[in-house]
Structure 1
Amino acid sequence: MRLLLLTGKGGVGKTTLAAATGAALADRGAATLVVSTDPAHSLADAFAVPLGHEPAAVADGLYGAQLDVRALADGAWDGVREQLQAALVRGGGLDGLAAEELSVVPGVDELLALGEVQRLAGTRQWDAVVVDCGPTAETLRLLALPEAVSGYLRRMAGPVAKRSGLARSMARLADHTRSLRDLLTDPVRTSVRLVFTPERVVVAETRRTLTSLALRGIRVDGMIANRVMPSPGWWRGAAAAWVRQRRRQQDEVLAELARSGLGEAAERLRSVEYRADEPVGVAALREIATELYGTSDPLGQGSTADGSAPTEAGGPLLQMFEAGDGYRLRVAVPLARDSVVDLARVDDDLAITVDGVRRLIALPEPLRACRITDAESDPRGVLVHLEGAE
């Protein structure tokens, strides 16, 4: 089973492309589910069929679902939250108001939505699950939650330890978040595809998203430029001149992106032209899929450049090597030219912050006694200089 998540800035057409990707996979014989975690719930509009929380047939081999996140929270979390609140009052010595505030786990709605995606993917009913995620900012919060909530649950272990029933509930939730994190950071099973329109502001956000996902150890296997202006050909006149100018501007943006050194994702860039008619229904989505993938496998971008399956998992790739004055450690995260990078030591971890997104990375054993003396960055990542302890 392959899990493919499509995300992008709001309004770039990710729902349409997720639906088109699902249609392409089903046409190639893969049992495919397209599921939306986007609160806007436009997947049903794209397929032109009614969709609900449970998977419903759209076409042969193709199913769709729109998750009701609020219902998930009401059914799965409220009981645990009430137990946690009681434990904080009785076992933690807090008053009711403080306990109520602490018992609200940030992002639990989104965490449950991600857990529901995992449940659907784990039914073994599907060869591929394509996820229409919310806008980029929401998706980054969503994908960061398993790690964040795991830390929150560890901190809450003390106050709930005396209540065995609640402790078991919290332990199950902690195990669940760990399994989510393992799924998201497994590049063989899971990848993200970024959708954008060829505009400088949108591309800048897309590059920051790429770096943020790399810091969290989540693989981006490709990018899709949507709504590329068609060439006006031999047509003349004011309208043709406008289209020709917009296409030239878009080509310049795409050329800059190709030269940006953002790695695998930018190298595997596909594009879809703007259409006069809104693509609604499976037939229209198949036309987009043909333009997008041709006869190739829509999941083919899940392989490495040489066609083999990727093997690195669990975080950014670290490359350590010796130098004359100590060691060098490369943290292979794609960086834009204007990325702001900050490094710090936190015990045996390296805290790396890129454009406001922070990640703790465990240092290899030989480097834990070393100190950071310098660092430099390029499009391939951050090169950290370390010296041995005296």
Structure 2
Amino acid sequence: MRIILYTGKGGVGKTSVAAATALKAASEGKKVLVMSTDPAHSLSDAFDEEVGPEPRQMAQGLWAQEMDQSSMIEEYWAEIQNYLTAVFEWQGTTDVAADELARLPGMDELFGLLAVRRHHREGGYDALILDAAPTGETLKLLSLPDQMSWYVEKILPVQRRVASIARPLARRTKALPPLPEDSVFAAGQRFYDALAEVEEVLIDRENASVRLVVNAEKMVVAEARRAYTYLNLYDYGVDAVVVNRLLPETVRDPYFEEWRRAQEHHMRTIRDSFEPIPILTARLFEREMYGLEALSELAGEIFDGADPLEVMFRGETHSIVKRDGGYEVVLSLPFVEKESLELSKRGAELLVSVGSYRRNILLPDSMARLAAAGASFEDGKLYVRLKDAS
């Protein structure tokens, strides 16, 4: 199954782009499901037709779904929720409030990702297009399996043994909170295993891709660059950047000239930051883009005859490895000469120029204090060393 996850800063038009991609693929003979994992569902608005918690056919070969967490709670969270509710009630929380508190923040998006696992296992579609939450929430979710792994592997077994010893005492006294039964620990393990399986599906770069949707605006581009850095760190493949709502060339009113110059400036930043990843563009239309006809027009603008399900880029534009007490940023730059290299670093930004090739790389925040300590070429790759200046 081909999986494409669209994310971007809120308001950039990622729902319309996701729906347009699915419609384009379906028009070319594929069986496609577009699914929203964002709690603020917008697919119904994009199609101008009601979309429910179960897949609903919107056009020939195209289904849409807006996730409802209630169907997923019973499968993945019921045992844990019952225990958490008991703990909150032991603390004096009312029944209704305890039940609500047991549904942790972010559960909607999380269960949306678990629905990816279900559809992947069932294999009922050729492609799954995900309209994900804005970048910040999506990055937290995609990094969750890595963050949970140490706890599940190291701490959970110890807690399970301690609970089994202390549980008889807790049952005899009300001074201790209820301790989880073995079934709760088992449910936690199943929950983690399901998340880890989703991660395996989404980091398969031959079949799964992330696409960043941006507008040519300063804050939007900055967030997209940051998102790309962290997606790389967690091994998720970005195969395209979609720049949405560009002013058309036909608009030449002086009122828009300053806006046009700003967009041109931000487009240069986008190219410097993301190439050789393909950069797809769509103009700002003269109307709102909802309904099948408008979405089809948007898809034609973005893909311009290309296959929307193609893996448009494989690999990374750069990678970061830890080495010799510091880090190396590795860029693939075949056929360059060392003499043409220019290198500078400002805070968390690394700027690399080789002849006409220019890259503006946003590093993780933890590397902002490091200084560039040299560079070298080896087998067509540029290695930029970063070390603590002190």
TM-score calculated relative to the size of structure 2 = 0.73
- Aligned residue runs from structure 1 range 370-385, under 5 A: 376=373, 383=385
Q: Paired residue for 1:348?
A: none
Shift of 1:191: 1.1
Shift of 1:30: 1.2
Residue range with higher mean Cα deviation, 1-10 or 139-148 = 139-148
Q: Paired residue for 2:365?
A: 355
Q: Paired residue for 1:34?
A: 34
Residue range with higher mean Cα deviation, 158-167 or 23-32 = 158-167
Shift of 1:337: 6.0
Q: 2:240 aligns with which of 222, 230, 234?
A: 222
| Structure 1 residue 16 corresponds to structure 2 residue 16 | yes
Go from structure 1 to structure 2 and tell me whether the alpha carbon gap of 1:275 and 1:141 turns closer, same or farther (over 3 Å shift): same
Go from structure 1 to structure 2 and tell me whether the alpha carbon gap of 1:128 and 1:145 turns closer, same or farther (over 3 Å shift): same
Shift of 1:210: 0.7
Shift of 1:177: 2.0
| Structure 1 residue 203 corresponds to structure 2 residue 230 | no
Shift of 1:96: 4.9
Is the contact made by 2:68 and 2:108 (CA closer than 8 Å) also made in structure 1?
no
**Gapped regions of structure 1 (runs ≥ 5):** 90-94, 305-309, 342-352, 359-372
- Aligned residue runs from structure 1 range 85-234, under 5 A: 96-97=90-91, 107-154=106-153, 155-161=155-161, 162=164, 163-232=181-250
Go from structure 1 to structure 2 and tell me whether the alpha carbon gap of 1:300 and 1:4 turns closer, same or farther (over 3 Å shift): same
Shift of 1:283: 1.3
Q: Paired residue for 1:361?
A: none
Q: 1:340 aligns with which of 340, 344, 348?
A: 348
CA distance in 2, matches of 1:290, 1:70: 36
Is the contact made by 1:34 and 1:63 (CA closer than 8 Å) also made in structure 2?
yes
Is the contact made by 1:224 and 1:270 (CA closer than 8 Å) also made in structure 2?
yes
Residue identity matched to 1:192: V
CA distance in 2, matches of 1:216, 1:377: 26
CA distance in 2, matches of 1:103, 1:69: 13
CA distance in 1, matches of 2:119, 2:22: 15
Shift of 1:116: 1.1
Q: Partner of 1:10: helix, strand, or coil?
A: coil
Q: Partner of 1:18: helix, strand, or coil?
A: helix
Shift of 1:302: 3.8
Deviations for 1:45-80, whole angstroms, at most 9, x for unmatched residues?
111121111110000000100012365346641322
Is the contact made by 1:197 and 1:228 (CA closer than 8 Å) also made in structure 2?
yes
Is the contact made by 2:242 and 2:279 (CA closer than 8 Å) also made in structure 1?
yes
Go from structure 1 to structure 2 and tell me whether the alpha carbon gap of 1:381 and 1:63 turns closer, same or farther (over 3 Å shift): farther
Go from structure 1 to structure 2 and tell me whether the alpha carbon gap of 1:196 and 1:174 turns closer, same or farther (over 3 Å shift): same
CA distance in 1, matches of 2:250, 2:345: 33
Go from structure 1 to structure 2 and tell me whether the alpha carbon gap of 1:135 and 1:338 turns closer, same or farther (over 3 Å shift): farther
TM-score calculated relative to the size of structure 1 = 0.73
CA distance in 2, matches of 1:79, 1:327: 45
Q: Paired residue for 2:52?
A: 52
Deviations for 1:166-191, whole angstroms, at most 9, x for unmatched residues?
33322222221221221222211211
- Percent identical pairs in the alignment equals 33
Q: Paired residue for 2:266?
A: 253
Q: Partner of 1:217: helix, strand, or coil?
A: coil
CA distance in 2, matches of 1:14, 1:5: 10
Deviations for 1:283-313, whole angstroms, at most 9, x for unmatched residues?
1101111111121111224443xxxxx6x9x
Go from structure 1 to structure 2 and tell me whether the alpha carbon gap of 1:202 and 1:230 turns closer, same or farther (over 3 Å shift): same
Is the contact made by 1:227 and 1:275 (CA closer than 8 Å) also made in structure 2?
yes
CA distance in 1, matches of 2:249, 2:385: 42
Go from structure 1 to structure 2 and tell me whether the alpha carbon gap of 1:337 and 1:318 turns closer, same or farther (over 3 Å shift): closer
Q: Partner of 1:225: helix, strand, or coil?
A: strand
CA distance in 1, matches of 2:90, 2:285: 57
Aligned-residue Cα RMSD (Å) equals 3.7
Residue identity matched to 2:20: A
Q: Partner of 2:133: helix, strand, or coil?
A: strand
CA distance in 2, matches of 1:41, 1:25: 22
Q: Partner of 1:191: helix, strand, or coil?
A: strand
Go from structure 1 to structure 2 and tell me whether the alpha carbon gap of 1:355 and 1:333 turns closer, same or farther (over 3 Å shift): farther
Residue identity matched to 1:149: M
Deviations for 1:102-151, whole angstroms, at most 9, x for unmatched residues?
98866444322210122123321111111001111111112112222333
CA distance in 2, matches of 1:70, 1:141: 22
Go from structure 1 to structure 2 and tell me whether the alpha carbon gap of 1:65 and 1:20 turns closer, same or farther (over 3 Å shift): same
Q: How many residues align?
A: 332
